Structure 1
Amino acid sequence: MARGGQGLARVAVVVRAGAAPLWWCGVFTAGVGVLPPGITGRRIGVMAGAALFLVAAAVVALYGRKRYTALAGGAARAGKHDVLQDRAVTVRTWRHGHRWWLLLAFTVALGSSFAVPAAVGMLLAGCGTGLRLKAAWLGRRERAGDVLLWARVDWLGRYGGRPAGKAVKAYRSTGIGAGDAAPGGSRRRTELYA
């Protein structure tokens, strides 16, 4: 980076990056998982899966909020030489770095359907839902503070994960219009005026 600038990735985009793969992986494996009766039977598997879905969504959505709040509260303004990473690059880095974990989770969810139909697939879908809820919570914080939160790319690691991990010492902030992602990490919609 020129003149001491840092590469910065949006915190909400990193959080949201795993939501879609986990959700679709979970939905697919849960759908396929109800086909075999399994050891426990379909009814018990689906009921256990529904409970796991709710618990996973709540735990993932609420986990680490104190750390995110503390880092957001101490966020320094990004410098003019800092480079803001595109949303697509951040998402691609996270998914590429976690592809083997996603494949392992898919395999375990599919294999477990022969014991407890659909349960692990619904657990994965719950984790994806929890990440989406956490990103939405971050988006509300960003709108309320009229800032976007960024983390240094080198602190996120080569796999682009853990935006509230121990390696992340502080966040940087920019105005609400910076970058190509809206508050909460979704794609920024361009408004057309007649």
Structure 2
Amino acid sequence: MARGGQGLVRVACVVRAGAAPLWWLGVPAAGIGVLVPGVTGRRIGVLAGAALFLLAAVVVALRHRGRYTALARGAARAGKHDVLQDRAVTVRNWRRGHRWWLLLAFLAALGSSFAVPAAGGMLLAGAGGGLWLKAAWLGRRERADRTLLWVRVDRLVRGGRPAGRAVRAYRGTGISAGDAAPGGSRRRAAELV
């Protein structure tokens, strides 16, 4: 980074990076779990799983909203020498850093099916759905404020969270900066022109 510039990563991209793996590991884990009769039986397992799915989605979506809001309110403008990390790099780094945790979560969801069929997989999928909801909420906030939120890359070392204790402040850029749309999704071809 020349002249004191910082490496910056999109907050919404970090939040959204875990959504797809959790969802796509949770769905097959729940599907396989339904095949196992389990201790409680399939019906109770699926009903418990549905409750856990909704609970996980709501808790993950609402968790730390106050912290995100406070950091967004105090966001300083990014400098011209700051380097904005691509969305694909952010997603790849997050998934590489969490691959063993994702594998353990998948295996735990499968193992829990012997006690409560499908519940563990539905819990995992609910956490992924909650991350999508949180990223969508961040996207609405970014559109309303006309500012994309960024965090320093060095604050996310070793699996840090974009609203964790290591994060002291966010940086802001214009709505068209970077290669990701508000909320961390890919920009459409029409938005890039």
- What TM-score do you get using the length of structure 1 for normalisation? 0.97
Which residue pairs with 2:32 in the alignment? 32
Deviation at 1:136, TM superposition (A): 0.2
Which residue pairs with 2:178 in the alignment? 179
Deviation at 1:101, TM superposition (A): 0.3
Which residue pairs with 2:65 in the alignment? 65
1:35-114, aligned counterparts within 5 Å?
35-114=35-114
Q: Which amino acid aligns with 1:189?
A: R
Partners in 1 of 2:51 and 2:36 — Cα distance? 20
Deviation at 1:156, TM superposition (A): 1.1
Partners in 2 of 1:107 and 1:37 — Cα distance? 17
Which residue pairs with 1:123 in the alignment? 123
Which stretches in structure 1 are left out of the alignment for 5+ residues?
none
Partners in 2 of 1:75 and 1:82 — Cα distance? 14
Is 2:25 the partner of 1:13? no
Number of matched pairs = 191
Partners in 2 of 1:190 and 1:175 — Cα distance? 18
Partners in 2 of 1:53 and 1:132 — Cα distance? 13
Partners in 1 of 2:158 and 2:121 — Cα distance? 28
User: 1:125 is paired with a residue of what secondary structure?
Assistant: helix
User: 2:178 is paired with a residue of what secondary structure?
Assistant: coil
Partners in 1 of 2:36 and 2:141 — Cα distance? 44
Partners in 1 of 2:125 and 2:84 — Cα distance? 30
Deviation at 1:36, TM superposition (A): 1.0
User: 1:114 is paired with a residue of what secondary structure?
Assistant: coil
Deviations 1:151-179 (A, max 9, x none): 000011143x4000000000000000000
Deviations 1:91-143 (A, max 9, x none): 00000000000000000001111111000100000000000000000000000
Partners in 1 of 2:16 and 2:156 — Cα distance? 14
Partners in 1 of 2:41 and 2:74 — Cα distance? 51
Which residue pairs with 1:152 in the alignment? 152
User: 2:189 is paired with a residue of what secondary structure?
Assistant: coil
Runs in 1 of length 4+ with deviation above 6 angstroms?
Answer: none
- Root-mean-square deviation (CA, aligned residues, Å) is 0.8
- What TM-score do you get using the length of structure 2 for normalisation? 0.98
